[in-house]
Chain A
Amino acid sequence: MQHLSLKMSNITKKFPGVLALDNADFELAKGEVHALLGINGAGKSTLIKVLAGINSIDSGQIWVDGVETVIDGTRRSKELGIATVYQAPEMIPSFSGYENVFLGVESSKRGLFPFINRKALRKKANEVLEEFPIDIDLDKPISDLAPIEREGVAILRALVLENISILILDEPTSILSHREAETLFEMIAAMKGRGVSIIYITHNLEEVFIVSDRFTVFRNGRNVGTYESDRSNYSHNDVAELMLGDKMTSIYPDKSETIGDPLFSIRELSHGTDFQNVSIKFHEREIVGVFGLVGSGIDELCKTMFGDLRPDAGQITVKGKDVALKSCADAINEGIFLVPGDRHAEGYISDESVAFNVTLSKLPGISKFGFVNRKTEKNATLKLIDKLKIAPGDPYGNISKLSGGNQQKAVMAKGFYTESDIYIFQEPTVGVDVGAKALIYRAIRDLSETCATMVISSDCEEVYGIADRIVVIFEGKVVLNAKTSEVSLDDALVHGLAGGHDNV
């Protein structure tokens, strides 16, 4: 066990209703870059939260550098030399780069007034930085830095730990451009040179072969295999199959055969630097899937189409009529509904009943003379609970106590209750288990029979799986707009990652 930096065995972690880790094993050799793969809900994020000391385990054993240990808090995790760089690292925006690097560990002194030696910190941060092929002005406030520079600061923050031995990178490229990602890969190589073992979490199969020595695939909370990252032995499809198991084919409903009347279109829509000249047409019986990375402008596009942001230029047309949307309320009146991506902040009202949430966007539907009729409310909610199989099916149950998938279904039910003509589903299955996923896709497909539907997501596979037409947005511009049957998943992915220019 001497050569192992980390060994985890038989780790089990239960959350209410979900078995996040099910007797999972994981091994990390010293000085290797080990990619961790798996679809959403496979247990990757729980695993790293266990290592970071955020989640405690129900059972299982962990050895760090050959010594069995219990990680009971973030402090302990740090003491063990484990550092995590999260997907969107939290920083103090007005603090300078080096101040963020040393946040919380500015001084080893105790006492009433532990002095911060800014000069020394700055020097130390810059010394570590010099080993990397990137130049960051660490005196600038974080809010002025580019995404890769922030990522760099986050990595520096991990590396200034005196005893760093294991570094966890959680989807580090998701907010980086293609060029920036390459810089990151060089940084990873440099870190490897320092003898740090790295766990690299990603959705991007290509990155696995570029960056890692070995990779491990997680599925349903279990380790389904660890392999050498040798491009000649495994194709993307092999890896994808490992990740998905037998679910790859069954999860998505059939594609639509025919296309109905046009219902909705956007023409030359632009919003600042977020996206420019985006034109998409939407028809009945056709699901349009829009794929773009986080930061590519898809979030702003959704919000513009739903009236939450005002376009600088361009036209939104509903059923042949040009509309100017001033608010979300306007959009709903025009028959547009957005099922937002950040369910917890934008989707549902917590600690209220399912019925409260389902009927919220069309309260006149359940009220007479302005007063709510509980019976109408109950019946309307029950109908949608039944249709979307929301469990438990109590219309007056607290929505905060439902599982992620059922909360998502309740938010969708809220949309369905408005009987809109146009539905936008933003990241519809984030934090949703596989069973609920299939149901959500089915519901979207059923809806598309009579409505224009759009699924907008940073998960290419999902977009490819559900959509009849795929639109790919890269750095705010449409780089691909084609029938799904006419392009391959790889092709779509390449467009989304690099604008379709060079090989990834």
Chain B
Amino acid sequence: MSEVNKSLVAFLTFLAAILLMFTLQSEYFLTVSNFLQAFKHLSITAIAALGLCFVVAVGKADMSFHFFSCFAAMAMSYFISIGYGPVFSVLASLLLIASLGLLNGILVGRFGLPDMVTTIGTGTAVFGLAYLFSGGRYIYRNFIDSGIMQLNDGKLFGTIPIPVVVMVALYFLSWLLLHKSKYGRNFYAVGNKPLAARFSGIKVARYLAIAFVISALFASIANMVQVSAQGKGEIRAGVTLLMPAWAAVFVGISIFKKPTVYGTFIGAFMISIMQNGFTLLSVPFYYMDFVVALSLIGSIILANFDVITTWINKKRRG
């Protein structure tokens, strides 16, 4: 436990330093409205990362969720454009994407195909399929009238943005599932040692499939929020989810030594708050990517402190 505490303290210190820096640099940073804005932004990264967290928990890699989310958002936009209501559109596209996620799960779980390469393949194919809805053109029709934009603009009790509500709800449910329920243990057992899990009576393939479905679903929800914020169905909107989601999950792992719901949140929070701060300082977007990548690398290096020390010692000796 003490090892975990040490990393946690290190990360919180780091986070505090970042917050302090932004507060000093921009008076707008430490305001309620900015935090609501930041949380709204955070919710997109955080939700996508949460789905990925399940896949990493079962010991696999998903390279398709961002592509799947593009398909879901285009499907939703398409349903909206042909006149369906927002609820139906969202649910119908989630259903579609769940079945595609299940395909990943079956290929990797049941047939034992290598996760990374298979999901790159299925992801690309599904991304190609997403073009069927509009040939890659934006989908505007009915967007404003249908009420779908409430997914981003709506507020619970007039203050809390809907994306934040969705994020909190999904995190709470996932926390219950992964850390409090008996099913959560099976996810970790499968990820840790699939053979031992099987000999303990756990249906390994089933848990792998569920994890891939959750990953596809959550990324899709994140991208739907994103698309409804943009006010148009844009095919490439979800592609950018890949990097921050992986970074968030791995920052979480480097603190808690395994993929966890809270670790993923801390990871997503750290990344988002940096992006928000840099936006306020009007730093161009590509610097943010740079910072996200560096914080991913830095956090993992930090978590392997023992490796660093032995490495430094070796260099000294050699």
- Interface residues, chain A, CB within 8 Å of chain B? 306, 308, 327-329, 331-333, 338, 340, 342, 345-352, 356, 360-361, 363-364, 366-367, 370-372, 414
Contact = CB atoms under 8 A, between A and B. Distances in A.
A332 B201 CA distance: 6
Contacts of B314: none
B187 to A, nearest CB: 11
Contact of B198 (A308, A356, A363, A370): A308
29 contacts: A308-B198, A328-B198, A329-B201, A329-B202, A338-B199, A346-B196, A347-B196, A348-B196, A349-B188, A349-B189, A349-B196, A349-B197, A349-B200, A350-B192, A350-B193, A351-B258, A352-B188, A352-B192, A360-B197, A363-B182, A364-B182, A367-B181, A367-B182, A370-B181, A370-B183, A371-B176, A371-B181, A371-B182, A372-B181
B6 interface: no
B110 to A, nearest CB: 13
Interface in B160-186: 176, 180-183, 185-186
Interface in B180-228: 180-183, 185-186, 188-189, 192-193, 195-203
B181 A360 contact: no
Nearest to B202: A329
A316 to B, nearest CB: 17
Contacts of A331: 201
A414 B200 contact: yes
Given A351-B258, A414-B200, A346 B195 contact: yes
Given A352-B188, A352-B192, A360-B189, A347 B182 contact: no
A372 B195 contact: no
A350 B59 CA distance: 13
Nearest to A418: B201
A338 B196 CA distance: 11
A499 B199 CA distance: 31
B199 A356 contact: no
A79 to B, nearest CB: 19
Contact of A327 (B188, B189, B192, B203): B203
Contact of A361 (B176, B201, B257): B201
A361 B200 contact: yes
Contact of A328 (B185, B188, B201, B258): B201
Nearest to A338: B199
Contacts of B186: 363
Contacts of B176: 371
A342 B199 CA distance: 11
Contacts of B197: 349, 360
Given A371-B176, A372-B181, A372-B182, A360 B193 contact: no
A135 to B, nearest CB: 37
Contacts of A308: 198-199
B256 to A, nearest CB: 11
A371 B184 CA distance: 9
For the complex of A and B, the 6 pairs showing the least CB-CB separation, nearest first, are A363-B182, A332-B201, A329-B201, A367-B182, A360-B200, A361-B200
A138 B257 CA distance: 46
B137 to A, nearest CB: 46
A143 B195 CA distance: 23
A351 B257 CA distance: 9
A371 B192 CA distance: 21
Contact of B185 (A332, A333, A360): A360
Contact of A306 (B195, B199, B257): B199
B193 A345 contact: yes
Contacts of A351: 192, 257-258
A392 to B, nearest CB: 15
Contacts of A306: 199
Contacts of B182: 363-364, 366-367, 370-372
A230 B218 CA distance: 73
Contact of A349 (B180, B181, B192, B257): B192
Given A329-B202, A351-B257, A351-B258, A372 B185 contact: yes
Most chain A beta-carbon contacts within 10 A, residue among B189, B196, B201, B202: B201
Contacts of A364: 182
Contact of B193 (A349, A356, A372): A349
Nearest to B192: A349
A402 to B, nearest CB: 15
Nearest to B205: A327
Nearest to A350: B192
B32 to A, nearest CB: 35
A367 B182 CA distance: 7
B84 to A, nearest CB: 34
Contacts of A338: 199
B211 to A, nearest CB: 16
A370 B200 CA distance: 18
A363 B183 CA distance: 8
A262 B203 CA distance: 30
Given A308-B198, A364-B182, 10 more contacts: A306-B199, A308-B199, A327-B198, A328-B198, A328-B199, A346-B193, A347-B196, A349-B188, A349-B200, A350-B192
> Which one of A328, A332, A348, A367 has the greatest number of beta carbons of chain B within 10 Å?
A328
B180 A372 contact: yes
Interface string B121-164: 00000000000000000000000000000000000000000000
B199 A329 contact: no
Contacts of A367: 181-182
B316 to A, nearest CB: 18
By CB atoms of chain A within 10 A, which of B176, B195, B200 has the most? B200
A364 B183 CA distance: 10
A370 to B, nearest CB: 5
A340 B181 contact: no
Nearest to A398: B1
A363 B193 CA distance: 17
A332 B200 CA distance: 8
Interface string B225-268: 00000000000000000000000000000000110000000000
Contacts of B258: 351
A162 B310 CA distance: 35
A370 B180 CA distance: 9
Nearest to B206: A329
A70 B238 CA distance: 59
Nearest to A333: B201
Chain A CB count within 10 A is highest, among B176, B189, B199, for B199
Contacts of A347: 196, 199
A345 B198 CA distance: 11
Contacts of B201: 328-329, 331-333, 361
Contacts of A361: 200-201
A366 B181 CA distance: 10
Nearest to A363: B182
Contacts of A349: 188-189, 192-193, 196-197, 200
Contacts of A342: 195
